Amino acid sequence: MTAQEIRQAYLDFFKERGHAVIPRAQLVPQNDPTTLFTGSGMQPLIPYLLGEQHPEGVRLVNSQTCLRAQDIEEVGDNRHTTFFEMLGNWSLGDYSKKEQISWFFEFLTDVVGLDPNRLYVTCFIGDSKNNIPKDEEAANVWSEVFKKKGIDAKAVEIGSEETVYEAGVQGGRIFYYDASKNWWCRSGKIEDMPVGEPGGPDSEVFYDFGLPHDEHWGKKCHPNCDCGRFLEIGNSVFMEYVRADSGFEKLPKQNVDFGGGLERIAAAQLNNPDVFKISLLWPIIEELEKLSGKNYDSHTESMRVIADHLRAATFLAVDGVKPSNKEQGYVLRRLLRRAIRFAFELGIEQNFLENVVPVITDMYHTDFPEVKDNRGKVIETLINEEKLFRQTLRKGVRELKKMATGSKLDGNHIFILYDTYGFPYELSVEEAALQGIEVVDSWRREFEQKMSDQRERSQTASKGVFKGGLADHSEETTKLHTATHLMYEALRRVLGDHVIQRGSNVTAERTRFDFSHPQKMTDEEKAEVERIVNEQIDADLTVTYKDYPTTDAFKMGAKGAFGDKYGDTVKVYTMGKPGEKPYSMEICGGPHVKHTGQLAEGGKRFKLAKEEASSAGIRRVKAVLQ
């Protein structure tokens, strides 16, 4: 089976068992300022796992695209990728361990065709300190399903991280680990769970490639070993408990949250530990071999990095991210520039994204229609970034060599490469390693000091600007600040939900507002935005605010400024008619007028004075009340 066939078979398998197939969430989380990317299949479903009712019911299934930028340095071995798909199924207070374990085992062995003798599983050993028993229920179900395949599944108590490498496999099939390995909670550790926080034991499934153990990772091998023999391909979380004042209590409704790596299951199906040989990555490698005239076996790391990074970059672009020097855009830029640098090492010095990116989009366009719909825009975005960087790549590499002549590379050098030549600091350090150039130990501290100095100069240049981009708290500035909120909602209604605030600056004369949008606004669109805003002004909407816990504010649908970080509580401003659905709901520190009708005092009307590009994929409007 190809990876594409495995994905579809998984969705079909659980659909036949009463699950609603739900679409993937975007890689950029919506209304969640706590994280840059969707990093797991369950992340978009946390509100429903915590008790909110899902509109599609209590049984759900999907394949969620995920990005973990923290793994970028790990890419190059045979299993790590920054981008991956997580096959997921969920029971929201419906079925539990017996169904989940039996179904997943059936899917792996009877549908995908994995040899059950190659499968090993883990369960929670219990926690006497918190009066949580050993998860014998899960272990017993595993024992039963293995027995049906003629396998006597011996259970082995591995225990803690400290003793695990002394224990080894011991002829076992089911392995009990402690909370460091087989307990799930959002805080990561059972001892850090606050009162009211749910969590529970989990059960992981590993595929045994039969490789010899590498003692670099420990004296003896075991399923959770990192030596490469075992590969985790799925994990069922049984959210059974909630932290209470007196300890742990059973949840009235217990959930199942399963996640399985599509790429890893596909590698297991091939019985090949190299995930880059699967059908969602190998076509990219083949294109790189053709373009470079070199083969994968002799240039393995470079081709793996390029294949992974371009797949991640493609999906980021599909989901509307543009290369920039901030947040998600910075990660996209770094992925692209690392890929281009490794392509340079392969001898691919001509533009190559126009050849590689279509290979990627063609692998996904059938299963993810948004890839097909955005194909042209994605290719254009990535090619433009390649052209921009190739102009500086040769010069930057040359300057790096010159800087390090007769000395080590330091933080000042790295800052110049970043500030002048557009080299992400990580790329400078990696390039130095490729060139055999030593980097001083203090480089990071020196680099960060230079960055801090630059930020301070920037802040001094805009001294006097109030929080939220307000020049002052005068009456006219306050009116235009309120108008900005009305305009933001109008822009989303006219242009679409992809419009996200990227910056604002409000003075007594005008409001300036930056937002994500790929193209120039038409005259008709501008006129419609003006009409909607003036309509809300004439409606004399009531403006009120209330403090909410941050998570509650986002659940309610309150919009926050892109990239802003929030504390535990936030102030939410609402504009609307009492008893009716609000026109606008935003997290904001204020100030605002009491009624939108105040914006029309003196016969003034809202007007868009100017609309222009601010940066790639970002538009800027200036508006007035006159």
Token pair recorded at residue 461: 């240049």
Predicted local distance difference test score (pLDDT) of residue 462: 36
Phi, psi of 293 (to 5 degrees): 75, 15
Predicted local distance difference test score (pLDDT) of residue 461: 36
| CATH code for residues 475-625 | 3.30.980.10
Predicted local distance difference test score (pLDDT) of residue 32: 63
The domain made up of 3-277 is a member of CATH 3.30.930.10: yes
The count of other CB atoms within 10 Å of the CB of residue 516 is 18
Token pair recorded at residue 130: 């918190």
Task: Using the predicted structure, report yes or no on whether residue 522 has a pLDDT greater than 60.
Answer: yes
- At 92 the three-state DSSP class reads strand
Over residues 5-9, the mean pLDDT reads 97
Task: Using the predicted structure, report yes or no on whether residue 13 has a pLDDT greater than 90.
Answer: yes
Amino acid found at 426:
E
Q: Picking from 457-471, 533-547, 593-607, which range would have the lowest pLDDT averaged per residue? A: 457-471
Token pair recorded at residue 119: 């499968």
Report how far residue 333's alpha carbon sits from residue 90's, in angstroms, rounded to the nearest whole number. 34
Residue pLDDT, tens place only, 192-224:
888 888 889 999 999 999 999 888 888 888 888
Longest dimension (CA), the chain: 86
**pLDDT classification of 38: cutoffs 50, 70, 90:** confident
Predicted local distance difference test score (pLDDT) of residue 458: 45
Residue pLDDT, tens place only, 493-507:
999 878 888 888 888
Token pair recorded at residue 401: 């060599």
- At 85 the three-state DSSP class reads strand
Higher-pLDDT residue of 245 and 276 is 276
Residue written as tokens 């805009």?
Answer: 462
Report how far residue 474's alpha carbon sits from residue 161's, in angstroms, rounded to the nearest whole number. 60
Over residues 465-490, the mean pLDDT reads 78
Higher-pLDDT residue of 59 and 590 is 59
Say if residues 240 and 138 touch (Cβ distance below 8 Å): no
Over residues 303-320, the mean pLDDT reads 94
Say if residues 543 and 594 touch (Cβ distance below 8 Å): yes
CA-based Rg of the chain, rounded to a whole angstrom? 27
Distance of CA 325 to the CA centre of its chain: 17
Residue written as tokens 């006497």?
Answer: 128
Report how far residue 551's alpha carbon sits from residue 556's, in angstroms, rounded to the nearest whole number. 9
Predicted local distance difference test score (pLDDT) of residue 77: 82
Same fold, 3-277 and 475-625: no
Does 33 sit behind a cis peptide bond, omega within 30 degrees of 0 on the bond before it? no
Residue of 15, 5, 61, 71 lying closest to 39 (CA atoms): 71
Residue pLDDT, tens place only, 375-388:
999 999 898 888 87
Share of the chain above pLDDT 90, in %: 49
Report how far residue 502's alpha carbon sits from residue 619's, in angstroms, rounded to the nearest whole number. 9
Q: Picking from 269-273, 462-466, 593-597, which range would have the lowest pLDDT averaged per residue? A: 462-466
Range among 38-47, 214-223, 274-283, 443-452 rated most confident: 274-283
Predicted local distance difference test score (pLDDT) of residue 119: 97
Task: Using the predicted structure, report yes or no on whether residue 467 has a pLDDT greater than 60.
Answer: no
Residue of 173, 169, 181 lying closest to 151 (CA atoms): 173
Does 194 sit behind a cis peptide bond, omega within 30 degrees of 0 on the bond before it? no
Residue written as tokens 């920054």?
Answer: 82
Q: Picking from 350-364, 392-406, 473-487, which range would have the lowest pLDDT averaged per residue? A: 392-406
Report how far residue 173's alpha carbon sits from residue 80's, in angstroms, rounded to the nearest whole number. 25
Share of the chain above pLDDT 70, in %: 94
Report how far residue 614's alpha carbon sits from residue 620's, in angstroms, rounded to the nearest whole number. 5
Report how far residue 230's alpha carbon sits from residue 119's, in angstroms, rounded to the nearest whole number. 9
Residue pLDDT, tens place only, 142-193:
999 999 999 999 999 887 766 767 777 888 999 999 988 899 887 778 888 8
Residue spans of the domains in the chain: they are: 3-277, 281-403, 406-458, 475-625
Say if residues 159 and 126 touch (Cβ distance below 8 Å): no
Task: Using the predicted structure, report yes or no on whether residue 71 has a pLDDT greater than 90.
Answer: no
Predicted local distance difference test score (pLDDT) of residue 228: 85
Task: Using the predicted structure, report yes or no on whether residue 407 has a pLDDT greater than 80.
Answer: no
Token pair recorded at residue 284: 């990219």
Token pair recorded at residue 184: 């799930």
Residue of 148, 146, 155, 147 lying closest to 174 (CA atoms): 155
Residue written as tokens 């960055």?
Answer: 451
**pLDDT classification of 227: cutoffs 50, 70, 90:** confident
Predicted local distance difference test score (pLDDT) of residue 532: 95
Report how far residue 204's alpha carbon sits from residue 222's, in angstroms, rounded to the nearest whole number. 13
What would the 3-class secondary structure string for 527-577 be? Answer: HHHHHHHHHHHHCCCEEEEEEEEHHHHHHHCCECCCCCCCCCEEEEEEEEC
Length of the chain: 626
In the 8-state DSSP scheme, what is residue 133?
Answer: -
Task: Using the predicted structure, report yes or no on whether residue 121 has a pLDDT greater than 90.
Answer: yes
Task: Using the predicted structure, report yes or no on whether residue 98 has a pLDDT greater than 90.
Answer: yes
Say if residues 620 and 614 touch (Cβ distance below 8 Å): yes
**Residue 616, Ramachandran bin (φ over 0: left; ψ between -120 and 50: alpha; else beta):** beta
Say if residues 259 and 234 touch (Cβ distance below 8 Å): yes
In the 8-state DSSP scheme, what is residue 293?
Answer: S
**pLDDT classification of 518: cutoffs 50, 70, 90:** confident
Over residues 549-568, the mean pLDDT reads 72
Over residues 399-416, the mean pLDDT reads 82
